[in-house]
Chains A and B, each alone.
Chain A
Amino acid sequence: MDTLRFLLERRGDIAQMTLEHVFLVAVSIALAVAIGVPLGILLTRRPSLASPVIGFANVMQTIPSLALFGFLIPVPLIGGIGNRTAIVALALYALLPLLRNTYAGIQSVDPSVVEAGRGMGMTDLQRLRLIEIPLALPTVLAGVRISTVNAIGLATIAAAIGAGGLGTLIFRGLSMVDSRLILAGAVPAAVLALVADGLLGRFEKRFGWDR
């Protein structure tokens, strides 16, 4: 009851930080999609590049998030203290699921369908646009969904470098040994993740083909 009253008291803060959080995640995912999806498609055309590029994304994902923020701070242009660094780090983390799913999605398109397209006289670009991308879309969207849910959790750590978001409440709660504050940050973050997962799941279904 006490916690509930506390959360109500802090609703202004919570709302504001939820917005900051959504902003961090939305921008970084948009960035990761803009890079990851075209790159994933490119890799299906240049398979020799696939293992080094996916390997790089794999390595990014193994770096502990707090350490990655730390590494990025001294980097000129993208680094520094604040949300720019956080967005770059979150985008790097989101890259792997996007790359891998795009690559795998297009690779798994039935070669006979592509062949049929070729037989109809489609150019490479037409086959990509009309056959491969539509068929790979559900897998790509699944990648977007995974990386978004991941990013919502990871973004809480961005408060350490002054990027704002719900992590701010969690860090304050930790420094004050106040579990109500920690909950004030953690619960909305969990709700956000669930909502994002649900929405993107619907999206995925809608764009999927009927099996």
Chain B
Amino acid sequence: MKRAKPVVFGALLAAFAAGCTGARPVVVGSKNFTEQVILGEMLAQLLQARNVPVERRLNLGGTLICHRAILAGDLDVYVEYTGTALTAILKEPVSHDASAVYRQVRETYRRDLGLAWTEPLGFENTFAIAMKPETAKTLGIRTISDLKAHGEALRPGAGHEFLEREDGFRGLVDAYDLEFTHRPRGIELGLLYQALMEGEVDFVVGSATDGLIEKFALTVLEDDRSYFPPYDAAAVYRPSTVEREPALAQVLELLEGNLDEAAMRSLNRRVDDEGRTAADVVSSFLEERRWVTPERK
């Protein structure tokens, strides 16, 4: 028994050394909502199909956690939205010209942060204020401005990040000059629509591509004062990783402009509504699109 210890220790040391010298994996990240996990999974599976070692760090607690991680080199790539980068990360004022926002964000990232953006993936995901169609009809609410008249009755619900972000709830309330008697409820993103359907809150701030908006046929209020900036999705990556792993460049190029809103919404829906795992949904999607050949998977 006494002999065994150094042997085990030696074996562990050897394993550790092997782990260190082995190819460094590409670390893929994502934020903590369905669409993000799907996109992270998609990047990971496409890389794996090209025999690139991958480490998944999906479902991280929010925008700024992903941002800090990629800055620190703990992540190599994740999908970000131009509007979020502009307002939440760079703290620049809102602009509504989608391509100008994209150019500005890409330039600032390159110049100040040493990070690169791909071309937009092809879909936009802005915030969406959703309520039950019955509530909207009874109160005659169609736009965000219409909420003003019902500030005493309506109970808002949103993710914790949205409640704290500068371009989140506070900004929204200012821009539309709204006033709510009930304080907004902070709820985990995965539970937002459940809270709405159970009547715990009267409207929620979700994402436009959320699969459950379609499933529950919710009314999405029009952003009639265009408060929300354009939120084109694109991947943010570390340029040094692409030099090390050229396959990452191929994968990113493949995604550019190739994921439209309908595709994204249907992916989200397959996970949120049909209860399938993101990994499963992504692998069948990649086969449908013939982005991976089934044998090589």
Contact = CB atoms under 8 A, between A and B. Distances in A.
B279 interface: no
B160 A73 contact: no
Contact of A162 (B62, B64, B68, B157): B157
B188 A175 contact: no
Contact of B191 (A161, A168, A173, A175): A161
A174 B31 CA distance: 12
Contacts of B194: 73, 81
A161 B187 contact: yes
Contacts of B62: 174-177
B163 to A, nearest CB: 6
A65 B83 CA distance: 35
B198 A171 contact: no
Closest 5 CB pairs of A and B: A175-B62, A162-B187, A175-B161, A81-B195, A172-B164
Given A162-B200, A175-B64, 15 more contacts: A81-B187, A81-B198, A161-B191, A162-B201, A164-B186, A174-B61, A174-B160, A175-B61, A175-B160, A176-B62, A176-B161, A177-B64, A177-B65, A177-B68, A178-B64
Contacts of B244: none
Contacts of A174: 61-62, 65, 160
Contact of A161 (B183, B188, B201): B188
A29 B191 CA distance: 26
13 contacts: A73-B191, A80-B198, A81-B200, A162-B185, A162-B188, A168-B160, A168-B163, A172-B164, A175-B64, A175-B161, A176-B161, A176-B165, A178-B164
A175 B164 contact: yes
A153 to B, nearest CB: 19
Nearest to A82: B200
Interface in A28-84: 73, 80-82
B72 to A, nearest CB: 11
Contacts, number: 69
B63 interface: yes
Contacts of B165: 176
Interface of A: 16, 73, 80-82, 159-162, 164, 168, 171-178, 181
B164 A181 contact: yes
Contacts of B61: 174-175
Interface residues of B, number: 24
Nearest to B64: A177
Contact of B188 (A16, A160, A176): A160
A176 B60 CA distance: 12
A172 B183 contact: no
A65 to B, nearest CB: 14
A73 B200 CA distance: 12
Contacts of A175: 61-65, 159-161, 164
B188 A164 contact: no
Interface string B193-205: 0110010110000
Nearest to A159: B186
A123 B163 CA distance: 60
A15 to B, nearest CB: 12
B211 to A, nearest CB: 18
Contacts of A168: 160, 163, 186
B185 A164 contact: yes
Interface string B50-69: 00000000000111110010
Which of B68, B183, B186, B194 is the most central at the interface, judged by chain A CB atoms within 10 Å of its CB?
Answer: B186
A168 B188 CA distance: 10
Nearest to B157: A162
A81 B185 CA distance: 11
Nearest to B32: A175
A174 B163 CA distance: 12
A94 B163 CA distance: 31
Nearest to A160: B188
Contacts of A81: 187, 191, 194-195, 198, 200
Contacts of A82: 185, 195, 200
